[in-house]
Amino acid sequence: MIKLLWSGMVVMLMLSGCGWNGTPTRNNDFVPLTSIQIIPVSTPIAASKTIAAHTSTRLSVVGNFSGLFTRDITSQAVWSSNTPTVAEFITAGSPERVTGHIPGTAVLTATVQGVSATCSLTVSSATITTLTITPTNPTVAKGLPIQFAAIGTFSDATTQDLTFDATWISSDPAVATVSDSAVSKGLAQTLTAGTTTIRATFIDIAATTLSGTTLLTVTVPVLQSIAVLPANPSVLSLSGKSFTATGTYSDGTTRDITSQVAWASSIPVRATIISGGAATTLSEGTTSISATLANASGVPVVGSTNLKVTGGTLTGITLASDTVPPVNNTITLVRNSVARISATGTFSNGVTRDITGAVAWAVTNSTLGTVTHPAGNLAWLNSGAVIGATSLTATSGTLVATAGLAVTAPTLTSLSISPTSFPDLTLGTSSRFTLTANFNDSTTQDVTVGAAWSSLAGTTALVGDAGILKGRVSGVAAGSTTISATYGVFTVTAPVTVRSRTIQSLTISVTPTISGTPTIVSGNQVKFAATAVYTDGTSKDVTEETTWAIDKSTVVLLADTLNQPGQVVAVDSGSATLTASFGGKTATATITVP
């Protein structure tokens, strides 16, 4: 340590008036900012209003907005000094930092949106007497950062944070580096196990050079335990669940090690899990999900949690189509058309539920048809351009359900839209059109999804033209418009009139109706409907427009908010509250799972 003594005059910066009397210089009723305050960030400096020359401190600005609230607006301030030779703002990365140079007096000004505040600074001299680095001799695990601070004591017995004003260096940059950049002074990054000396050096106004040091020890952290989350979840069979693994190390740090551990399920017939923590539940019961990783000594560290699989074990699969119902277990589609398909599972506890998104779909002859599965419980069967017959299958484990697929090529003769109009569509709600194609062999087919939909006045009513939203018309503003649907060479139209109404209340009910509190067994599904009642006495089903929420997802889940709005599925025993929100109104229902 080198210490140069100088007996010259003491130079100090005296801050007076900072933070007490910021006076607005602009009066404008249209500007909500009415006054500002300048406040030193450092508490000791805020109290004494003193910093030594050749040091710096950060100032902050608090804005008062018409007396209604205050907030920090430092980032918006423009700073200036009337005597830059005494004190000035010179740090590009930290424009609110003021540095004192020589004895004298300076007035600092902060301006935000034309509103200004000032504080006076008086300069005299003090010399550095000690420089201390904190923390003292720390031990840090490899890869972790650590922030050092330099604290100086001056000849007038004051202390100051000199982290920004000191020069920083590490004796062994291979072990750890320390930043001397203006935006990150004193921040060390550990690189490898070992020791290095961290040094901070400060030169005061008397040219006294003083250094402080501390020894940084970098260790290789040892993994001590693994936490697997979520802890002890209950999950429906034929569902997915993501687990994470967090490692706790000997230095007290934690780290996400989900991608590093080896995942396993103690009973794979109940649930499987792959790398990354993605589990798939298969059959009812409990299995242990474990995560294993060897520590630095080669000793395996294991963390685990129990996974309870509810909802029964799948015993059968039934195929169906919502838009083109099968006849004799065969779905007949006109070539180059689309039908929505679904799979319903029968489970060992006697319940049935939609498992469209949980099965593997396939068409035996892909030139005749393919299946697309965008998300959730939504799947589309797309017929090809070739005429013929093939099979559609849905598979889960060893269970397979099969239906026939016949692709035909009759001639389109006309289109029918149902209903033929919506003369009273309430603003903010929606309804659905269905489009039917009529062919020369007297057959018909729902082609709602295959048609092109448009609205003559989209500012009055919009109509969906993508996927499951096709044919769904939504009221945007009061007025009238015409909805068009085109399929093949034919186009049909339907008038829509949108009316504005004021909502009075919102109710939800189970469909079909169940009296009292709905009680459903694990794995079963229940459909809720939301009805808006308006001040003119009309009512409207707003199930699709309603926002649905469940307070306890461990008891009840929303089945598929996009494709099956209002539908819930029971997970495990308990009670949960279902909340429906629409038009500023809410309604709730309690659901019990025994």
Task: Report the 3 state secondary structure along 291-335.
Answer: EEEECCCCCEEEEEEEEEEECCCEEEEEEEECCCCCECCEEEEEC
Q: By percentage, how much of the chain surpasses pLDDT 70?
A: 93
DSSP for residue 11:
B
- Lowest pLDDT segment from 127-141, 306-320, 378-392, 518-532: 518-532
pLDDT at 40: 84
Secondary element (H or E) of residue 48: helix 43-48
Question: Per-residue pLDDT tens for 470-517?
Answer: 999 999 999 999 999 999 999 999 999 999 999 999 999 987 655 556
Interatomic CA distance for residues 200 and 150, integer angstroms:
7
- Annotated domain spans of the chain: 12-123, 128-219, 223-310, 317-408, 412-499, 503-593
Residue 50: band (very low, low, confident or very high) from pLDDT cuts 50, 70, 90: confident
**What's the mean pLDDT when you consider all of the chain?**
90
Contact present, 141 and 191 (Cβ < 8 Å)? no
- In CATH, what is the architecture of 317-408? Sandwich (2.60)
| CATH class for the domain made up of 223-310 | mainly beta
Buried b (16+ CB within 10 A) or exposed e, 510-540: beeeeeeebebbbbbbbebbbbbbbeeeeeb
Global pTM value: 0.62
Q: Label residue 584 left, alpha or beta by phi (over 0 means left) and psi (-120 to 50 means alpha).
A: left
Does the structural domain 503-593 have CATH classification 2.60.40.1080? yes
Q: 385-388 long-range contacts, Cβ below 8 Å, gap at least 24?
A: 385/335, 385/336, 386/335, 387/335
Q: Give alpha helix (H) positions in 93-219.
A: none
| Angstrom distance (rounded) from CA 505 to CA 582 | 9
Q: What is the mean pLDDT of residues 24-49?
A: 70
CB atoms within 10 A of CB 542: 23
For domain 412-499, give its CATH number from 3.40.50.920, 3.40.50.720, 2.60.40.1080, 3.10.100.10: 2.60.40.1080
Ranking 89-98, 188-197, 420-429 by mean pLDDT, the lowest is 89-98
pLDDT value of residue 122: 72
Q: Read off the pLDDT of residues 144-171 as tens digits, 9 standing for 90 and up.
A: 789 999 999 999 888 999 999 999 999 9
3-state secondary structure of 449: coil
Which pLDDT does position 6 carry in this prediction?
A: 31
Domains 12-123 and 503-593 equal at CATH topology level: yes
Least confident of 370-379, 432-441, 532-541: 370-379
Choose which CATH entry (1.10.260, 3.40.50, 2.40.50, 2.60.40) describes domain 12-123.
2.60.40
Residue 407 token pair: 């692709």
Which structure tokens are listed for 454?
Answer: 């448009």
Cα(479)–Cα(345) distance, rounded to whole angstroms?
45
Confidence of residue 20 (pLDDT cuts 50, 70, 90): very low
Q: Which CATH number fits domain 128-219: 3.30.450.20, 3.30.565.10, 2.60.40.1080, 3.30.70.100?
A: 2.60.40.1080
